[in-house]
Amino acid sequence: MTNKDKLKISEEAKNFLESEHLLFIDGEWKQSSSGEKIPVFDPATEEKIAEVQSGTTKDIDLAVNAAREALSGEWANIPSHDRAQILHRLSDEIEANFSVLSELEVLDNGMPLELAQYSIASHGVTLLRYYASWAPKIHGKTIPVSPGGAMNGESLTYTKREPIGVVGAIIPWNSPLIFAILKLAPALAAGCTVVLKPAELTPLTALYFGHLIEKSGIPKGVVNIVTGLGETAGDALAKHNDVDKITFTGSTEVGKKIVSSSINNLKKVTLELGGKSPVIVFDDADLEKTIPGVARACFFLQGQNCMAGTRVFVHEDIHDELVAGVKSMAESFQIGHGLIQTNDFGPLISGDQRKRVMKYIKQGISEGATLVCGGNEVNDRGYFIEPTIFTDVTGEMSIAKEEIFGPVLCIEKFSNESLEEIAKRANKTTYGLSGSVWTNDISTGHKMAALIDSGQVSINCHAAVDSAIPFGGNKQSGWGREFGEEGLDSYLKTKATTVMY
């Protein structure tokens, strides 16, 4: 009996896994031009569950050509209200296929089922509906000026908001379906066409989503999905001279490559990159809420989360109580396969990722941090690691500076330093994505939030994400913002027209 049987996977999910996974180009499902395949593994069992096409430069070319054609075809003439209806239909399709999508997300990525269900419902469906409702509200302005002065007579200037064009969307493995939707929803609302390159480690829900796109009535060529490796398919997309914009979510290292790949045709680039976010806990914080909040901030998605609050700065008076509370929560997580409902802590994405995290844990110990709990690999099968906490961490240690992207929490103390001094320590990182402040003093909360150099700060919660809240990074955590009106804006360009009369 295979794990697939033991885990009671639905017939629908099994059938999908066993089907042939192809590239979605110009409304058709195709083999890759190379004929090569990439195996896909369940990270909780290490079992191969599918294989997908390894897209090539030639496949990317076909997909970009299809997207270019579609940009000026039927899609361009669909009224914005109807574009909104199409996005609502796509959202209905996700709701109708909610349970198989959730199952596939768990099998592909390893996240606990409850989290997959939550993220698909409250981010996937909601994001599509949110951006659907923006589609008919995209408009320009009239500008009351007379260029060149009154001598030239009367004039009218107006602006139009136009789709930016063909979008290349490159996404990571940590929340695969949500990132696909986060790119597609605003791009389609704006009237763009898209070539999506899912992460090679987690391509399955994007491919399933491709079938829902087909059903939703989106014209052919508007959305194309090319699975493949980053250094081949991803690189070809980033370098393609007929792509107008790249929207990329992934590591800072690859983000920098995307920037240099985009130079040739100066395509527009949005980057959502890594993080090393601070969590600042004052001595008046409500520990009943703060302890679970701090534990979730780091250990959510096994720490494979760009917004993870991995660097805690806590006032010395409550340090021991906070550490004991977070340790007890960390030790209470049920580690195991995400499809078993009682498990709330899954595996890391791959053997390589586990090796990388274990290397950091060893480094933390050798650099002199105190290991409070965790630090070990778990289970014979699957890439599991225990939730790990270090205290006595200093800002110079590599575990405090570098993005580990695993369940490793680093705790530092502060005493009676000023808010500015605490902020200096919290901001001593090349990243600037998220952060949180925990206090019962609202004035301390706002002052501290203002001093943290990141795109998002939460007070008495961590990583507040909503379709309407702009999200993105400062410093090396990225360029631009996603979600909300700003997220839509990045898929539009402004044209100013002046008429003299």
- Which residues are the active-site residues? 272, 306
- Shortest distance, position 197 Cβ to ligand NAD, whole Å: 6
How far apart CA 276 and CA 296 sit, in angstroms, is 15
Q: How far apart are CA 201 and CA 349, in angstroms?
A: 8
Query: For residues 159 and 474, which CB has a smaller minimum distance to ligand NAD in the complex?
Result: 474
Query: Mask 178-197, x = binds ligand NAD (CB under 6 A)?
Result: -------------------x
Name the residue nearer to ligand NAD (CB basis): 191 or 275: 275
Closest CB to ligand NAD among residues 180, 451? 180
Q: Are 338 and 111 in contact (CB under 8 A)?
A: yes
* Nearest one of 387, 399, 411 to 322, comparing CA atoms: 411
Nearer to ligand NAD, 243 or 285 (CB): 243
Total residues at interface with ligand NAD (CB under 6 A): 29
**Choice between 94 and 433, CB closer to ligand NAD:** 433
Residues 227-246: x/- map of binding to ligand NAD (CB under 6 A)? ---xx--xx--x--------
H or E, element range at 130: helix 126-134
Neighbours of 3 (CB within 10 A): 18
Residue 414 binding ligand NAD, by CB under 6 A: no
Contact with ligand NAD (CB under 6 A) among 199, 226, 294, 463: 199
* Residue 81, CB-side half-sphere exposure with 13 Å CA sphere: 0
Q: Using DSSP bridges, classify how beta strands 377-378 and 492-500 pair: parallel, antiparallel or unpaired.
A: unpaired
3-class SS at 332? helix
CA atoms within 13 A on the CB side of 33: 12
Q: Using CB under 6 A, which of 70, 273, 312, 449 touches ligand NAD?
A: 273
* CA dist., res. 333 & res. 157, Å (int): 61
Q: Hey, which residues between 111 and 150 contact ligand NAD (CB under 6 A)?
A: none
Choose among 335, 168, 339: nearest CA to 241.
Answer: 168
Which residues are within 8 A (CB) of 4 and not within 5 positions of it... i.e. 6 or more apart? 14, 17, 47, 49
- Closest CB 236 distance from ligand NAD, rounded Å: 8
**Binding of ligand NAD by 170 (CB under 6 A):** yes
- Name the residue nearer to ligand NAD (CB basis): 234 or 364: 234
Q: Which of 290, 254, 250 has its CA nearest to residue 273? A: 250
Within residues 295-334, the interface with ligand NAD by CB under 6 A covers 306
Q: Does 254 bind ligand NAD (CB under 6 A)?
A: yes
Instruction: Give the pairing type, strands 309-315 and 408-414.
Output: parallel
CB of residue 228 to ligand NAD, shortest distance in Å: 8
Q: Which of 55, 250, 407, 435 binds ligand NAD (CB under 6 A)?
A: 250
Compose the 444-483 pattern: x for residues touching ligand NAD by CB under 6 A, - for all others. -----------------------------x----x-----
CB of 187 to ligand NAD, least distance (A): 16
The minimum distance between CB 402 and ligand NAD, in angstroms, equals 10
Q: Is 411 in the site for ligand NAD (CB under 6 A)?
A: no
As given in the structure block, the two tokens for residue 26 are: 């110009």
**Closer of 172 and 325 to ligand NAD (Cβ):** 172
Task: Give the distance from CA 65 to its chain's centroid.
Answer: 27
Q: For ligand NAD, which stretch binds (CB under 6 A), given 98-106, 170-178, 437-445, 488-496?
A: 170-178
The dihedral sign for the CA sequence 294, 182, 482, 446: negative
Residue 219 CB, nearest distance to ligand NAD (Å)? 26
Measured over the CA atoms of residue 250, residue 279, residue 484 and residue 91, the dihedral's sign is positive
Are 271 and 294 contacting, i.e. CB atoms less than 8 angstroms apart?
A: no
**Got the DSSP string for 3-45?**
HHHHTT--HHHHHHHHSPP-EEETTEEE--TT--EEEEEETTT
Stretch that binds ligand NAD, among 53-61, 75-83, 101-109, 253-261 (CB under 6 A): 253-261
Nearer to ligand NAD, 234 or 293 (CB): 234
* SS3 label, residue 235: helix
Nearest residue to ligand NAD by CB is: 230
How many Å apart are CA 239 and CA 246, to the nearest integer? 10
Distance in angstroms (rounded) separating the CA atoms of residues 255 and 271:
6
In the bound state with ligand NAD, the residue whose beta carbon lies nearer, of 276 and 337, is 276
**Looking at 99, 251, 379, 498, which residue binds ligand NAD (CB under 6 A)?**
251
The residue from 45, 65, 119, 174 that contacts ligand NAD (CB under 6 A) is: 174
Residues 21-80 that bind ligand NAD (CB under 6 A): none
Q: Does 200 bind ligand NAD (CB under 6 A)?
A: yes
Reduce the secondary structure of 237-249 to three states and give it as a string: HHHCCCCCEEEEE
CB 366 within 8 A of CB 338: no
Q: Is 441 in the site for ligand NAD (CB under 6 A)?
A: no
Binding span for ligand NAD by CB under 6 A among 3-11, 271-279, 291-299, 378-386 = 271-279
Using the minimum distance from each CB to ligand NAD, give the nearer residue, 392 or 402.
402
Site of tokens 């270090």: 390
Binding site for ligand NAD (CB under 6 A): 170-174, 197, 199-200, 230-231, 234-235, 238, 249-251, 254, 257-258, 272-275, 306, 403, 405, 433, 473, 478
